[in-house]
Structure 1
Amino acid sequence: MKAGAALDVGGASKMPTTGISRGVSALGFILRVLAFICTLGSAIAMGTTNETLPFFTRFIRFRAEYDDLPTFTFFVAANGVVSGYLILSLPFSIFHIMRSAAQNSRIVLVIFDTIMLALLTAGASASAAIVYLAHKGNTKTNWFAICQQFNSFCKRISGSLIGSFGGILLFILIILLAAIALSRR
């Protein structure tokens, strides 16, 4: 009788765990889609940023483009790679919704998610330092703030950073959800 009671208890506890795991996997899928939108939007916004200002005459102009600084080029590349990865990881996320017991593929996905989080953080952090210099400058090294002159350029690169840092937060949530799903096994 006690053995039968233990089976009933074990069977009853497996049903909610499967439902919770599927819910966690579905939430992970939604977060992946949102992270894709953030990172792709950031890459496009930064990659299309430029502004031209006339100087004394119409023949002499100053132009600011994202590819003038290697940091911004790295930012665009990092966001592009992460966006591509997120698209490629969506089928695995759907697989985890259908088969919530899959552990090996979830572990591999967590490892790659962590690598992509590091890449995205590196690109966004390096670009944030340059954007800070563009806004504030550095008087000790005679670097002048350019955002008073290139206002549109600075708004776009700042907005691009916001999207990328949003993607970073979503990646952290994705990794935490995957850890929760793995810990329920």
Structure 2
Amino acid sequence: MVKNELTTIDMGETSKERKGKAPLLGVEHARGGYKRGISIFDLILRISAFASALAATVAMGTTEQTLPFFTQFFQFQASYDDLPTFLFFVIAMAIVISYLILSIPFSIVCIARPFAIGARLLLIIFDIVMVTLTTFVAGSSAAIVYLAHNGNSNANWLAICQQFDDFCQRFSRAMVAAFITVVLLFFMVVLSTVALRKH
């Protein structure tokens, strides 16, 4: 009698344990899939941001135009490194490109291990730094682009884009690519924040 009662009690506890653990495993699996999906999307955004940052850097770094004036000995030349803001733009965007390349392995780690907090936290910290840097250089360069297109009559600054039209078109394209990079980096920060919050 005692043995039968003990057997009945053990079976009851086993069934309760199974009932309690089954839903928990399902929830953990669902969360893992959710975080893995965020990590995959983060990797796609990271590669896209790398492409747009590279396009901005190449467009700005190759910006120059020469206007002939009477003879070949007298020429007007405009280059991106004539303006310190544009030179800083190229250097800063090169830093962003380097970071994005180095961050890709960490993003892959987040895909393989959806619950890894360390790699995701490291990414979000450096992503915020890169958003700040990219926003700063894009904003300051955009101010120079505006002056190049419109000038400033109060300060007697002429709009150089009336003469250097090809020069202006190239660095205007660089500005568009830089602001696309800012938006992509911002979404990467938002995704990482959401993934950390759901942990």
The corresponding residue for 2:115 is 101
Supply the distance in 2 between the matched residues of 1:111 and 1:179 (Cα, whole angstroms). Answer: 10
Q: 2: CA distance between counterparts of 1:125 and 1:5?
A: 58
Aligned match of 1:138:
152
1:147, distance to aligned residue in structure 2 (A): 0.6
Measure how far apart 1:88 and its partner are: 0.3
Note if 1:25 corresponds to 2:39.
yes
8 A Cα contact 2:56 2:177, kept in partner: yes
Q: Which runs of 4+ in 1 moved over 3 A?
A: 1-6
Q: What amino acid is aligned across from residue 148 of structure 2 in structure 1?
A: A
Q: Does 1:50 align with 2:64?
A: yes
RMSD over equivalenced CA pairs, Å: 1.3
Q: Identify the residue that residue 41 of structure 1 maps to in structure 2.
A: 55
Describe the superposition over 1:48-101 as per-residue Cα deviations: whole angstroms up to 9, x where unpaired.
100001124332111000000000001001100000000000000000000011
What 5-or-longer segments of structure 1 have no aligned partner? none
1:147-162 aligned at under 5 Å gives the runs: 147-162=161-176
**Secondary structure of residue in 2 paired with 1:142:** coil
| Higher radius of gyration, 1 or 2 | 2
Report the equivalent of 2:10. none
**CA separation in 2, counterparts of 1:132 and 1:10?**
57
Q: Please name the residue that 2:26 is paired with.
A: 12
Q: Residue 158 of structure 2: SS of its match in structure 1?
A: coil
The correspondence of residues 58-77 of structure 1 with structure 2, limited to 5 A, is 58-77=72-91
Structure with higher RCO (Cα < 8 A, 6+ apart): 1
Q: Helix, strand or coil: the match of 2:27?
A: helix
Cα deviation, residue 5, structure 1: 4.1
Equivalent position SS for 2:162:
coil
Tell me by how many angstroms 1:183 deviates.
1.1
1:118 paired to 2:136:
no
CA distance in 2, matches of 1:6, 1:123: 55
Cα distance in 2, alignment partners of residues 46 and 6 from structure 1 = 61
**3-state secondary structure, aligned to 1:139:** coil
- What is the DSSP-based 3-state SS (H/G/I as helix, E as strand, rest coil) of the residue aligned with 1:93? helix
Tell me how far apart the structure 1 counterparts of residues 156 and 192 of structure 2 sit (CA, whole Å).
47
Shift of 1:9: 2.5
Counterparts of 2:175 and 2:99, CA distance in 1: 19
- For the residues of structure 2 that align with 1:141 and 1:55, how far apart are their CA atoms? 26
